[in-house]
Structure formats: structure tokens, C-alpha cells
Amino acid sequence: MSVTTATRTARSVPVLGSLRGHIARRAAHRELQRSLAVYASYAGQSELAAVLDRSTPEDAAEIRAVLHRMGIAA
């Protein structure tokens, strides 16, 4: 392996780790969207609002943001 190839490989390791993290976060986000889709009905939204009221403010804000992007009010 030449010095140039070794340098490129060393630089790509943090990028690959960052990319893997991004892919994992996107997969978790899609799974959360699938899970929250069940709450699209009015009854589901009422139940979800009650759950969010008992959640930590950070968790509730994240879930509300996802619901907002999905067009579901909570």
C-alpha cells in the first residue's frame, strides 16, 4: 500500500463511521414513523397525547416533531 493510499484510508475511517451513524439514525427514525402511524386516528391521537404528557420534554418534542412532519397532530 502506498503512502497516498494509506493516507486516504486513514481519512476515510472517520467518514465511514459518521456515515454508519447517520444510516443507523435514519433507520431508527423510519421505525419510529412506522410505529407512530398507528396513531393517525382521532382516538389514537388522544392516547398518544396522554403518553406524551407523561414523557420527558425532550422525548415528547422529538416525537411531536416526527408527528408534525407526518401530518399527525398530537
DSSP string, 6-26: HHHHHHHHHHHHHHHHHHHHH
Q: What is the pLDDT of residue 54?
A: 95
Whether 11 shows a pLDDT value over 80: the answer reads no
Domain ranges of the chain: 3-70
45: CB partners within 8 A, 6+ apart: 39, 72, 73, 74
pLDDT in tens, 15-51: 788 889 999 999 998 998 888 888 888 888 888 889 9
Task: Decide: 34 and 22 in contact? Cβ < 8 Å.
Answer: no
